[in-house]
Amino acid sequence: MGDPGASQAVKAQRRLREMILAGELPGGSRIAELAIVEVLGVSRTPIRAALMRLEQEGLLQALPNGGYAVKTFSERDVSEAIELRGTIEGLSVRLAAERGTAPSLLGDARACLEHIDELLAQPVLDDEGFSRYVALNERFHALLSEMSGSTVIGRELERVASLPFASASGFVVAQVDSPRARDMLVVAQHQHRQVLEAIAQREGARAEALMREHSRIARQNMHEAVHSQTLRARHVPGLRLIHRED
């Protein structure tokens, strides 16, 4: 049987993450441990474990006199996190191309891209369409990571993408109301196909360069989201934790 305490810590971690990203625990605010215990209805031990894990994720920072505060980020912080993800993903796809990839994985990735093509064939994407895109996009990136055959790289990708704004789809939903949103997704999809083709053709350097370029779209999405007054007024996960750099 599993450890009940560990299960409670995971649930507390998930709920606290949701509260932080939704702005229920504002950036810079100190975490009141007893208040969290009351809100979540669990003991202090799993709460402390959850807080420690969220510090490791980068959403919290430890205070000198004990306890934790919700961390805030500059645009540069987020841009560098996205670029780091692009660098690691670039290494991942280069290894996938050089080592060779199982035909079944290539087939799964192609099928995933076909589903995205079906979505993008619609002239306009609604909220449900964007949500579907996010799921498919994350699936495609997960398949690329799996293609490398490296548990080390896979673990590092999970770590760097644990902050929502650094993930492959971190700011996609934030662009729902942008008139250029679908066009940017079309460009990203074209890059997806080029990366997959490079992997299949065993062109490691090309696959890596394409993946690095792919992360630039995410950085552009981030910049537009941070500087949009409309989006900052909406509940875009994590957006209020980021300081604008004018």
pLDDT at 227: 77
Mean pLDDT of the chain: 86
Domain final residue pick, 71, 102, 117? 71
Same domain, 239 and 184: yes
| 110 and 179 fall within a common domain | yes
Domain that holds residue 37: 4-71
The arithmetic mean of pLDDT across residues 64-78, rounded, is: 90
Q: Which residue, 56, 71, 86, sits at the end of a domain?
A: 71
- Does 171 or 53 have the greater pLDDT score? 53
Q: With contact defined as beta carbons under 8 Å apart, do 82 and 218 qualify?
A: yes
Domain identity same for 166 and 238:
yes
**99-111: b or e for each residue (b if 16 or more CB lie within 10 Å)?**
eebeeebbebbee
Average pLDDT over residues 233-237: 59
- 63 and 105 fall within a common domain: no
pLDDT digits (tens, 9 = 90+) for 82-116: 999 999 999 999 999 999 999 999 999 999 999 99
Residue 221 belongs to domain with CATH number: 1.20.120.530
Q: Which of these three, 13, 36, 71, is where a domain ends? A: 71
Give the predicted TM-score (pTM) of the model.
0.78
Between β-strands 60-62 and 68-70, what pairing exists: parallel, antiparallel or unpaired? antiparallel
Residues 144 and 205 in one domain: yes
